[in-house]
Structure formats: structure tokens, C-alpha cells
């Protein structure tokens, strides 16, 4: 059976993410039992170790202002050493079916309706190798302003690298990588947008639970001031 890693970046910033991580890891092991669940984290704990097959302590400081920058940095570093097919996921994912790789080196979830952030990084497919592609992505992330390090920079990096003039299911060469843009409704979408054949569901924003609804209501209120 070919090697498969399901890799999640998570930093404990005091929010109740443990049930989401439990759901993600349980669904990964149920749908892809031959896979290995891997956690990349700056905040290791016994609770997290109980959920994942492998826990890698990143030994870096992460806060809300650096969260997505740290996630992109960790993904690039892991990819440089990886020898397995890898599915990079957010903690708030639930797998419904095994993820098919097909003939691609990098698979990205494409949202046609999001002009500024067409790539949803909630689920990313990557084969080993393609150092030119991942080095270029990492260099773009490093060059982005600090104002977007906390949020969006990991998605913006892909949009800058690939451009926005694409459609779902496009296939093309980008440096040394065969890239496919996967319709996010099939790959990994919010429950209300997901296709019947969706591989995974993404419980973004307030869909995480009541605590998340309160958090996002407060954030919107603060932004309106």
C-alpha cells in the first residue's frame, strides 16, 4: 500500500478545538485506514498526542498575528522532507471518502466565486518532490506583509503563484509541478455548498459550534466600529 500522510497544522490559542480535531482524525482513520495522521504544532500536549499517530513539535512561538504564516512555513518545511503522498488539512475538516490523487503533484481546492482568494487551503494534495514549486510558494509567503500573516496569507500565496484566471478542474504545469485545481464543492466544501460526492466537509467560521458563532459575531461587531 502506498504511503499516505494526513497532516494537520494546529496551534492551541485557547479555543475549544479538541472536538474538531477528534472528528477530523476519526474520519481520516475511518476513510483512509492505511494513512498516517501527523500533527504539526507549536503547542504539543498529551491530549493532542492521543489523537495523532505522529506529533511534531515545531518549537516556534505562534499567536493570532502569525498563525497562517506559521502554517504555510510548516507545510513548506514538511513537504521538503516528505516521501509520502500528503493531504494537508485544517482541524475543522471531516472526511467522507478517501481522497483520490490522480495524476497530479499538487491539488488545490478552487472556489470560482472568490476572486481574491480562489484557493481554499482547508485541504491540499501533494506528492513528494517539486522543490521549485514549494520554494517559490514559500518565498512568496515570506514576502507578504505582516498584516496578512495572521489570516489569509497561506491562500494569497497560492493565488499569487498561480494567478486567478483559472476554472475548476484546470490542469497545468507550474514550475516542476503538475497542478490540478479541484472544484471545492467536490473536494472539500462547507456543508451547504458540498456536492453529493464530496470527499470532505469544511466546518468554517461559525459552523464550528456555538463558541465560534459568538466569536464571529464579536469580530464583526468590532470591525463595524
- The CATH code of the domain that includes 34 is 3.90.550.10
Grouping H, G, I as helix, E, B as strand and the rest as coil, residue 72 is helix
For residue 225, pLDDT over 60 is answered with no
Q: What is the pLDDT of residue 149?
A: 98
Q: Poorest-confidence range of 23-27, 47-51, 185-189, 216-220? A: 216-220
pLDDT score recorded for residue 212: 59
Task: Please count the CA atoms within 13 angstroms of the CA of 106 that sit on its side-chain side.
Answer: 25
Contacts made by residues 163-171, CB under 8 angstroms, sequence distance 24+: 164/115, 164/118, 166/110, 166/118, 167/110, 167/112, 168/110, 168/112, 170/110, 171/104
The residue range of the domain holding 204 is: 4-224
Task: Let me know: does 146 contact 183? Beta carbons within 8 Å.
Answer: no
Other C-beta atoms closer than 10 Å to the C-beta of 16 total 11
Res 211 pLDDT > 70:
no
Question: pLDDT confidence of 78, banded at 50, 70, 90?
Answer: very high
- Domains identified in the chain, total number: 1
Region 146-172 average pLDDT: 96
What are φ and ψ of residue 153, in 5° steps?
-60, -35
Interval 190-205: pLDDT, tens: 999 999 999 999 999 8
In the numeric block, the cell 515570506 is attached to 142
What is the average pLDDT score of the chain? 93
Q: For residue 16, give the nearest of 72, 74, 84, 92 by alpha carbon.
A: 92
Residues in the chain, total: 225
pLDDT of residue 222: 46
CA 184 – CA 190 distance, rounded (Å): 9
Amino acid at each position: 500500500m502506498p504511503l499516505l500522510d494526513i497532516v494537520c497544522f494546529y496551534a492551541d490559542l485557547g479555543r475549544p478545538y479538541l472536538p474538531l480535531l477528534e472528528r477530523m482524525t476519526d474520519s481520516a482513520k475511518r476513510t483512509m485506514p492505511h494513512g498516517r495522521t501527523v500533527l504539526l504544532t507549536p503547542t504539543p500536549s498529551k491530549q493532542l498526542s492521543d489523537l495523532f499517530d505522529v506529533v511534531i513539535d515545531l518549537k516556534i512561538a505562534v499567536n493570532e498575528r502569525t498563525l497562517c504564516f506559521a502554517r504555510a512555513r510548516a507545510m513548506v518545511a514538511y513537504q521538503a522532507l516528505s516521501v509520502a503522498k500528503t493531504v494537508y488539512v485544517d482541524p475543522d475538516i471531516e472526511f467522507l471518502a478517501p481522497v483520490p490523487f490522480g495524476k497530479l503533484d499538487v491539488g488545490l481546492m478552487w472556489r470560482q466565486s472568490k476572486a481574491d482568494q480562489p484557493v481554499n487551503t482547508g485541504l491540499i494534495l501533494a506528492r513528494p518532490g517539486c522543490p521549485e514549486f514549494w520554494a517559490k510558494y514559500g518565498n512568496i509567503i515570506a514576502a507578504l506583509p505582516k498584516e496578512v500573516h495572521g489570516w489569509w496569507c497561506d491562500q494569497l500565496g497560492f493565488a499569487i503563484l498561480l494567478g486567478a484566471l483559472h476554472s475548476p478542474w484546470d490542469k497545468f504545469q507550474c514550475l516542476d509541478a503538475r497542478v490540478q485545481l479541484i472544484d471545492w464543492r467536490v473536494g472539500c466544501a462547507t456543508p451547504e455548498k458540498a456536492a453529493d460526492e464530496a470527499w470532505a466537509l469544511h466546518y468554517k467560521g461559525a459552523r464550528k459550534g456555538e463558541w465560534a458563532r459568538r466569536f464571529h459575531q464579536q469580530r464583526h461587531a468590532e470591525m463595524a466600529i
